[in-house]
Structures are given as C-alpha cells and as structure tokens.
Structure 1
Amino acid sequence: MTTIHAHVPTQSASRYLQQLAKHWSHKMPVTFDAEHADFAFPNGTRLVLDAEADRLRCSLEVPEGEDAERMVGVLTSHLDRFAFREAPLAFVRD
C-alpha cells in the first residue's frame, strides 16, 4: 500500500470537498459532511479529505499494483475542475 499525505491551500476547502463528494457519490461509496469526506474507489484506493479554514487535507491510500501517481492526477484534475477560478491548485505533499 502506498500512502500519500498532502494539502491543497485554498479558502474554499469545504466547498470543493462537498462538490467532489457529490460528484463521485454517483460512481462509488462516499460518506461526507462539510468538513470530512471518505471515498472508496472501485480499485481499492481510499481517499480521505478534511476541510480546514485555509487548506484541504488529503490522505490517499493506493493498493499495491495500482498507479499512485495516476490517482493523484485523478484527484487534482477534479479539484481543478471545481476550482476553475483559482486553478491550478497546488498539491503540496506533506
């Protein structure tokens, strides 16, 4: 398992978290509220997002045999789509 911890600096973390959760809830199991979301991708990847006042915290757990960088790309491209006014967002690995 590969685990990637990162954060995305933004003042709109809660809004982007909720938009992403609603969007992906049609494709996979998602639980969320305004500050926390948990995504279970079909390939076994798990994504946890936590909205803070000035950033969106990300924890991405990718199973062996899956491409972790591709999953990062899926996440960042979707975030940039919702954050088109401030895109591209920085994805800062912790």
Structure 2
Amino acid sequence: MDDALITVTGTMRTDRPERFAKQLLSHWSHRGEVLEEDGALVQRWETGQVISLRATEDALEVEVSVVEGDDSARFAQVVKEHLERFGQRDELDLVWHV
C-alpha cells in the first residue's frame, strides 16, 4: 500500500497480555489475517487499518494505524473499548501515548 499511515501507540498494564491480544484479534478474525512480525501479532484489515500487539512481562503494547485521511482517534477508541471490555474484570485501562 502506498498510502501514508497515521499511527497511535499505547500501553495496557496486565499480567495476561497474550490472552487479551489473542482475544481481540480472534474477535476481529474476519477483518484480516494475523501474522507474527518481529515478536508482535499484527493484523492488517482489508480496509487499511493495522493493529499490532506486543506482549511484554507486565503489559500489552498496542499500536494502531490508519490510512492518512481516516480518523485515527476513532479507530484507537474502538480498539481501546474492546480491550477494556475484554479485561473488565481486571479493570484494565489502555493509555494512549501522546
């Protein structure tokens, strides 16, 4: 794809980052194939959005990208809402880096 991407990154503290990464990508499995790239799970949607999830010892590092001209804040909010809903019992909070 030749279009420039706008990327937003964030961190969600959790002791089960792999679980939430797999749950989110499984939920959206119909959107695009999931590949492992450089230690992260990456899903490229047919509509141009990209989600990259990297599990660390105590957090899930989240990176979402949209094609320039799309609403990156809106897509980031959708990802945040889904992850926090999946981790509701753990009171998870995805914090976007500014």
TM-score range relative to shorter protein: 0.7 to 0.9
Listed one character per residue, the Cα deviations across residues 6-63 of structure 1 (whole Å, up to 9, x for unaligned) are 211111111101111211113322235xx63111123211111001110101122211
Identity %: 28
Question: Partner of 2:16 in structure 1?
Answer: 12
One-letter amino acid matched to 1:59: E
Normalised to the residue count of structure 2, the TM-score between the two structures is: 0.80
**What number of residue pairs does the alignment pair up?**
92
* Contact 1:45–1:60 (8 Å) recurs in 2: yes
Q: Runs of 5+ in structure 2 lacking a partner?
A: none
Change beyond 3 A, Cα 1:21–1:90: closer
RMSD of the TM alignment (CA)?
A: 1.8
Q: SS of 1:48's equivalent?
A: strand
Structure 1 gaps, min length 5: none
Give the whole-Å Cα distance in 2 for the aligned partners of 1:69 and 1:47. Answer: 13
Contact 1:7 1:92 in 2 (8 A): yes
* TM value normalised by structure 1: 0.83
Matches within 5 A, 1:1-94: 1-32=5-36, 36-93=40-97
